[in-house]
Amino acid sequence: MKVLFAASECAPFVKVGGLGDVIGSLPSALIKEGIDARAVIPFYRVVSPLDFNLVPVMEFEVGFRNKRYPVTAYLSYHPDNYDFKVYLLKNEAFLDEGGETAFANTQEEIRTYAFFSQAVVSFVAKLAHWSLITKKDESWVPQIIHCHDWHTGIIPQLIKVGYGLDPQLSKVKTVFTIHNLSYQGISHPQIADALNRALKDAPLVRWDLQDHNVDLLLQGIIGSDIVSTVSPSYAQEIKTEKFGEGLQEVLKSCEGKIRGILNGIDYRSWDPKTDKNLKVNYSFSKETGVTQELLDARAENKRALQEQLNLETDEASFLIGFIGRLDGAQKGLDLMEGLIYKLPQMSLPIQLVILGTGDKLWEERLSRVGREQPNVSVNIKFDSALARLIFGGSDSITMPSSFEPCGLPQMIGMRYGALPIVHAVGGLKDSVNDGVDGFKFNKYSVDDFVEAIKRSYYTYRDKPKWQRMMYSAMSRDFSWNRSAKEYVNLYREVMEKSN
């Protein structure tokens, strides 16, 4: 089975957020399962051709705004897996900018990814026609285009519009994965004309245009053959008013084709045995368990983290790490702020480390309250080395998110032996077992969050119990191999529906 991942980023070529990690890892796991998986992303200006040995393989034109624009498709190989091929589409007019900072959902970005989506469909059509006259590797044609988030949400509709124009496209099926429903790519109605004059006459696009805009994520949901989300709980939550971001009725009407598959993490990248950013490496196996050597190594990493961040070097302190985008609407920053204010009243030896960037208001608020507390270190920056030391040296990782489609830090934390403290929503609910390999709180409030922190601290004081929980956490399998098997079943379901 041949599957083409269409996305805005793919690590290490381009990484802006967690989506880049998914696209950079999941196809490799699928290849092990016998799927011929490849990816296509924009060739942003920030991508270095020399770093990735990019080779031009195809030139074609893309229609947009009643003009024809040249696009060159480059082929490369993922540096961690040479069986994983990645295409990058280059056009200086529309695809040059991007790939450096978090996506802002601006109209300029929407034009970029509308053009990219059109380019992907044109690329697949070119591949299909090439396959009729050549048997070369470049003639590879996907049976499924797996689209990710609003950036590629219009592709399923473009495929459908292409039925009459290009019969080769009628053979291609589409899967659409929602990584975060809150980012929808709502565009001006003119985007439909810019892409394809026939697009605005497609029934589902015409219905969407009734409110004088085109919601690209909505188009992905209603236009694709099947929809997936990045955790089972999130697949259920988005059908409610609380989490549905205004699309809950549409999602309920489509619930028969919605599936939830929990994301994974790259175990080769996230490995405390080989992580060069740890002061002392350590390993874990179910056979040897939580050894004294492992505990000593984590204690050394904790001390190194405390020293680096000018915290008191006290092994008895309970050190909690928060790593993430500073998004006040999602990441529970109001709870984090409330916790910081309550720390003096708690009179417990708790240290808190925050690492991230994002909303400027929240950067300032957290920095200000952090300066007032000697046992709090707020680090407003992107620092992958520090992030890894936090995973290897913290006792716990917290994610008090108001909603969380999947979440990766809780999984990485468990891989490194840092027990998660999470709000029981979405992927956090699915991945953490309360009192077994982490701690959950159900009500989104400062008081409930603080109680979960206290509960985790007193468990930490009970060393035998804490080590049993560490064993459970580090025994969990969050590798992409597990997720890949579920995606294989999903792809088979799509193909069976079409036959």
- Has residue 468 got a pLDDT over 70? yes
pLDDT at 98: 78
pLDDT at 102: 62
* 271 in any annotated domain: no
- Has residue 77 got a pLDDT over 80? yes
Nearest Cα neighbor of 224 from 489, 20, 498, 484 is: 498
The contacts of residue 429 (CB under 8 Å, 6+ apart) are 231, 233, 422, 440
Q: Are 257 and 303 contained in the same domain?
A: no
pLDDT at 167: 74
Look up the domain containing 450 and give its range: 292-476
Note the pTM of the prediction, 2 decimals.
0.93
Side-chain-facing half-sphere of 145: CA atoms under 13 Å: 32
**What does the pLDDT look like over 183-201, one tens digit per residue?**
999 988 888 878 876 777 7
* 52 in any annotated domain: yes
Q: Are 202 and 83 contained in the same domain?
A: yes
CB-CB contact of 148 with 174 (8 Å): no
* 467 in any annotated domain: yes
pLDDT at 16: 85
- Has residue 454 got a pLDDT over 80? yes
- Residues 380-407 have a mean pLDDT of 97
pLDDT at 51: 84
* 342 in any annotated domain: yes
Q: Which residues pair with 144 in a beta bridge?
A: 3, 173
pLDDT at 440: 98
pLDDT at 135: 52
Q: Are 42 and 105 contained in the same domain?
A: yes
Calpha distance 262→235 (Å, rounded): 10
Q: Are 323 and 251 contained in the same domain?
A: no
Q: Are 380 and 303 contained in the same domain?
A: yes
Q: Are 354 and 249 contained in the same domain?
A: no
| CATH number of the domain residue 458 falls in | 3.40.50.2000
DSSP 211: G
pLDDT at 133: 53
Q: Are 81 and 198 contained in the same domain?
A: yes
Q: Are 257 and 336 contained in the same domain?
A: no
Detail the residues annotated as belonging to a binding site: 15
* 32 in any annotated domain: yes
**What does the pLDDT look like over 86-113, one tens digit per residue?**
999 999 999 998 777 666 668 889 999 9
Which position has the token pair 């008081």?
Answer: 447
Calpha distance 262→390 (Å, rounded): 24
Instruction: Give me the number of domains the chain comprises.
Output: 2
Q: Are 308 and 185 contained in the same domain?
A: no
473's tokens: 């956490």
Long-range pairs, 297-300, Cβ under 8 A, ≥24: 297/272, 298/392, 298/393, 298/417
Q: Are 336 and 217 contained in the same domain?
A: no
Q: Are 106 and 175 contained in the same domain?
A: yes
Calpha distance 336→378 (Å, rounded): 11
* 233 in any annotated domain: yes
> CA dist 360 to 321, 326, 327, Å?
20, 8, 9
Nearest Cα neighbor of 257 from 496, 431, 27, 427 is: 496
* 275 in any annotated domain: no
202 or 42, which is more confident: 42
Detail the residues annotated as belonging to a binding site for ADP-alpha-D-glucose: 15
Q: Which residues pair with 322 in a beta bridge?
A: 354
Q: Are 336 and 469 contained in the same domain?
A: yes
pLDDT at 72: 97
pLDDT at 101: 67
**What does the pLDDT look like over 308-333, one tens digit per residue?**
999 999 989 999 999 999 999 999 99
Nearest Cα neighbor of 129 from 199, 58, 198 is: 58
